[in-house]
Chain A
Amino acid sequence: MKKILILLVLFPFALMHVNAQDFKPSNTQFMVRGYGHTGLNFYNVDGDKTSTFVGAAFSPIFLFKYNNKFIFESELEFELEGNKLNIGLEYADMMYVINNYITVRAGKFLLPFGTFMERLHPSWINRFSNKPLGFGHDGIAPSSDIGLEVRGAFPVGVSTLNYAVYVTNGPRLKTGDDEPDEAGMLLFVNYEDNNLNKAVGGRIGLLPFSNSSFEVGFSVYYAGNVGDTGSEFDGVNALLWAGDLSFVKQITPIRGIIDIKGQYNHSQIGDAVYNDPGDAARATYTFNNQSSAYYAQLGYRPSMSGNKILKNIELVTRYSTLQTPDGSLWEGNESEMSFGINYWLSWRSVIKANYHLKTKAVAGADNVDTQAFYLHWAIGL
């Protein structure tokens, strides 16, 4: 009888022990995250007005942490274009922490060419509903690629220095065979490399102050050959570089956070001779294939205000330009001035009201002005 009593008394403790073991946190963890946005776009192109609801866009992200050194990340992109659903793989890469200073990434990853694409483009992070000129589709800067990267960070005195060096398949030159108007542009993502040459690149970033409020970065990206092996474009090279800066700080006298971001991109692609099917008289042509783009953005949020509504409001402005090569069929000189009022519903959910004025210079004609008004809601999940 006594024994039974003892057993009965001990039984719950035994159970507790089993339970404690059951709930021991595992090193392995799987997280599904993502972001999406939706909204209304209104355009006025030299007097022609249109408006559309946009943004059935959803980007699920999968994070799989195998242990404290090994993590896999991937992002899918679902987007409606026309009435068709486009699915894209934004990135999918493995990351392994070798030691305090070296981490390796392999797979398809966002390239640290400047900071916009790697750090600032998701709709819940980007203060505007569109990208600055020169980024994204038909942009002059690479956003992601397939390859291998080594990166890390280390303190130097009170400063922090970070680096990333990578080798990837590299870009492919658009020869104009498919789209004559785009001859000379670079196509940045190559699932299958078109030649033996790989692109190499890297970024070095310095946060000089101990409070990490300021960072400057410099990036280069070089591909010795962007043409198809054996083609007349074999041997055309491309050298790109970028400079970026960021300053984010809560400043007490102005009772809020100042957020400054900027990036300059430069692209120089080797000389090549292209066919011009649209102009029989000249048949072939060439040009100095040099492009540049930059943006500068300033934001202020009265985060220290006692007013619940005011402290969630953010005022932002951005200027961006894109200059594409004279003599190419995609030559252009565009600039865009943007203003926005954002209302933050939480740290990762925002309503953005943006106004953009884009001016495109057209050789021998009047400028084309596009005014756009976007009202968007973005959320990180």
Chain B
Amino acid sequence: MKKLILILAIAISVPGIAIFLSGCEAQRSLAMQKSGAQLWAENCVRCHNIPSPSAYNDVDWETIGLHMRIRANLTAEQQQKIVDFLKSAN
């Protein structure tokens, strides 16, 4: 029972902290200025080689974007900007 409370406490507090920290709006602006192309170049090379936009069509990029956002723990904004860029450049 104690374990269960612990698990629940962790499960609730981590996203809680996440939401709290994400409130630091002022500092965020710097990261938000990055373009989709820049985020793609910086992030999609971290685990495997970087795929070129022409490797997939728009519909595939939507699926891959969601898959990678979850697998690679990208932020929602990074996913959105990168997918928009890949779709515009393929």
A231 to B83 alpha-carbon distance, docked (Å): 53
Main secondary structure of the interface of A (DSSP, over half): strand
Q: Within the complex, which residue of B24, B49, B66 is in contact with A157, where a contact is CB–CB below 8 Å? A: B24
Set of chain A residues within 8 Å of B69, measured between Cβ atoms: 97, 103
Q: Within the complex, which residue of A95, A158, A164, A344 is in contact with B49, where a contact is CB–CB below 8 Å? A: A344
Q: Tell me the smallest distance from the CB of A309 to a CB of chain B, in Å.
A: 16
Check A163–B51 contact: CB distance below 8 A. Answer: no
Closest A residue, CB atoms, query B21: A156
Check B58–A25 contact: CB distance below 8 A. Answer: yes
Within 11-61 of B, Cβ neighbours of A (below 8 Å) are at 11, 14-15, 18-19, 21-22, 24, 27-28, 30-31, 34, 42-43, 45-52, 55, 58-60
Q: Tell me the smallest distance from the CB of A236 to a CB of chain B, in Å.
A: 15
Residue interface bits A153-194, CB-to-B below 8 A is 1, else 0: 111111011111101000000000000000000000000000
Check A120–B75 contact: CB distance below 8 A. Answer: no
Check A25–B43 contact: CB distance below 8 A. Answer: no
A306 to B28 alpha-carbon distance, docked (Å): 37
Check A65–B11 contact: CB distance below 8 A. Answer: no
A324 to B26 alpha-carbon distance, docked (Å): 49
Q: Within the complex, which residue of A71, A101, A125, A163 is in contact with B66, where a contact is CB–CB below 8 Å? A: A71
Q: How large is the interface on A (under 10, 10 to 19, 20 to 34, 35 or more residues)?
A: 35 or more
Closest B residue, CB atoms, query A248: B46
Q: Tell me the smallest distance from the CB of B10 to a CB of chain A, in Å.
A: 5
Check B47–A125 contact: CB distance below 8 A. Answer: yes
Report if A347-B55 is in contact (Cβ < 8 Å); known contacts: A153-B75, A213-B42: yes
Check A101–B18 contact: CB distance below 8 A. Answer: yes
The yes or no answer to A252 lying at the interface (CB within 8 A) is: no
Check B71–A224 contact: CB distance below 8 A. Answer: no
Q: Tell me the smallest distance from the CB of B66 to a CB of chain A, in Å.
A: 5
Residue interface bits A192-217, CB-to-B below 8 A is 1, else 0: 00000110101001000011110100
The yes or no answer to A152 lying at the interface (CB within 8 A) is: yes
Q: Tell me the smallest distance from the CB of B7 to a CB of chain A, in Å.
A: 5
The yes or no answer to A359 lying at the interface (CB within 8 A) is: no
The yes or no answer to A73 lying at the interface (CB within 8 A) is: yes
Set of chain A residues within 8 Å of B34, measured between Cβ atoms: 210
Set of chain B residues within 8 Å of A211, measured between Cβ atoms: 42
Check A29–B46 contact: CB distance below 8 A. Answer: no
Q: Tell me the smallest distance from the CB of A238 to a CB of chain B, in Å.
A: 14
Set of chain B residues within 8 Å of A162, measured between Cβ atoms: 73
A167 to B11 alpha-carbon distance, docked (Å): 10
Check A29–B59 contact: CB distance below 8 A. Answer: yes
- Which positions in B face A, CB cutoff 8 Å? 3, 6-7, 10-11, 14-15, 18-19, 21-22, 24, 27-28, 30-31, 34, 42-43, 45-52, 55, 58-60, 62-64, 66-67, 69-78
Contacts A65-B63, A347-B49 supplied; 18 other A-B pairs, CB < 8 Å: A29-B59, A29-B62, A63-B67, A100-B77, A101-B76, A103-B70, A119-B71, A125-B47, A156-B24, A156-B27, A157-B28, A161-B18, A161-B21, A164-B73, A197-B3, A211-B42, A212-B43, A213-B42
